[in-house]
Amino acid sequence: MRSVWVIFKRELAQYFVSPIAYLVAFAILLLISLSFNSDLEQRVLNAQRPNGTIALTAFAFFMIFFAPLLTMRLLAEEAREGTLELMFTLPVRDSEIVLGKFLGAWAYYTVILALTLVYPVIIMMLTTFSDALLHSEMDIGPVIAGYLGIWLFGGATLAVGLFFSALTENQIIAGFLSMATLFILWLGDLAGLLPSSIISTELARALRVISLQAHYSTSFVIGVIRMEDVVFYMGIMAVMLYATMLTLESRRWR
């Protein structure tokens, strides 16, 4: 585990000196802010109950595009610069390399996610100090469940991105492949809306089962924590990390 800790610290530190990582964080927070402000304005005008999970719902969609940007360099850059081969000569296992890099990316994602806590705090402050704006209190249950869900959701998207980063030395290709895969997994939730003449009911149900969005929007975001949804995201992470380890092992013996 010492090797995992060393790689974890190295990768996390790389994010805080990477211009791309800062741009990704800025873009995420900016887009979420716009979504939050728009939703809050509408709820104030229509005297509706404040929604503390609107920022998280937007975050989930944006991670389809930003997770590949956070992970595309992790192994692709190492392979292109030849440092991956150097790591193979060190007394470190493939599993430790993969786990250290994944945890570093997940930790940086967690930092960005923590910054979004300002939005439910703003709603609570408005509810407490300005009854004229928000006439009802925010339901804290969906907020807590939503943050747990989006944390797991982000981990799953990062694991997918790390896998594609291990497949190629080209960061752009790695980012494109992971983005396309995540987008397809996202769209699986919409398969049930298509007419039966286009897609069969069985196929639509199967696509919804593997949909990233379906396991979030129907449970966590409404305040329900179902074990099957937790296991789904943890399973995506486990499968993708194992596939990444196998990919590194094949590189080691080339």
Whether pLDDT at 21 is above 80: yes
Inform me whether the pLDDT recorded for 195 exceeds 50: no
d(CA 138, CA 124): 7
Instruction: Please say if the pLDDT value at position 199 is more than 60.
Output: no
Greater model confidence, 207 or 101: 101
Share of the chain above pLDDT 90, in %: 24
pLDDT at residue 74 above 90?
no
Length of the chain: 254
- How confident is the model at residue 92, as a pLDDT? 80
Helical residues (DSSP H) of 46-129, grouped into ranges = 54-71, 76-81, 83-88, 94-115, 118-129
Q: 3-class SS at 69?
A: helix
Q: Is the pLDDT of residue 55 over 90?
A: no
Per-residue pLDDT at 163: 93
Give tens-digit pLDDT for 102-160: 999 999 999 999 998 888 888 777 776 655 455 566 778 888 888 999 999 999 999 99
91, exposed or middle or buried, with CB in 10 Å at 0-12, 13-18, 19+? exposed
How much is the pLDDT for 91? 76
Question: CA dist 92 to 4, 57, 68, 183, 211, Å?
Answer: 9, 39, 26, 34, 35
pLDDT of residue 205: 63
Task: Output the six-digit token pair for 137.
Answer: 């209190």
What pLDDT score does 148 carry? Answer: 92
Residue 35 has a pLDDT of 84
The pLDDT score that the predictor gives to residue 189 is 59
Residues 73 and 165: beta-carbon distance below 8 Å: yes
In the predicted model, what is the mean pLDDT of residues 180-197?
Answer: 66
- For residue 197, name the pLDDT band (cuts at 50, 70, 90): very low
When mean pLDDT is compared across 8-17, 90-99, 158-167, the lowest value belongs to 90-99
pLDDT single digits (tens) 165-186: 988 888 899 989 999 989 888 8
Give me the residue spans of the domains in the chain. 2-252
pTM of the model: 0.87
Mean pLDDT over the full length of the chain: 82
Q: Please name which of 224, 241, 110, 81 lies closest in space to residue 164, comparing C-alpha atoms.
A: 241
